[in-house]
């Protein structure tokens, strides 16, 4: 995967970090995410459904 570019978020660094580590906030930001739960301090488990054309898959 090749990612490039940047985007400025009009918020403090600490509030962005808190949102990225909040399972409820993060779940709302991931398209097709049905479940996102914290397993430990550094691990989360997710269930995401994705549809591309006629093909639908759950990960």
The mean pLDDT of the chain is 91
1 pLDDT exceeds 90? Answer: no
Q: What is the pLDDT of residue 7?
A: 86
48 pLDDT tier (thresholds 50, 70, 90): very high
8 pLDDT exceeds 70? Answer: yes
Mean pLDDT of 38-59: 91
* Residue matched to tokens 């488990």: 45
- Give dist(CA 58, CA 43) in Å, integer: 20
11 pLDDT exceeds 80? Answer: yes
Q: What is the pLDDT of residue 3?
A: 75
- Give dist(CA 34, CA 5) in Å, integer: 28
């Amino acid at each position: 995967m090749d990612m490039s570019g940047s985007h400025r978020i009009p918020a403090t660094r600490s509030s962005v970090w808190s949102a990225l580590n909040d399972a409820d906030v993060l779940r709302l930001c991931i398209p097709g995410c049905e479940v996102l739960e914290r397993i430990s301090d550094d691990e989360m488990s997710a269930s995401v459904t994705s549809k591309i054309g006629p093909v639908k898959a759950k990960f």
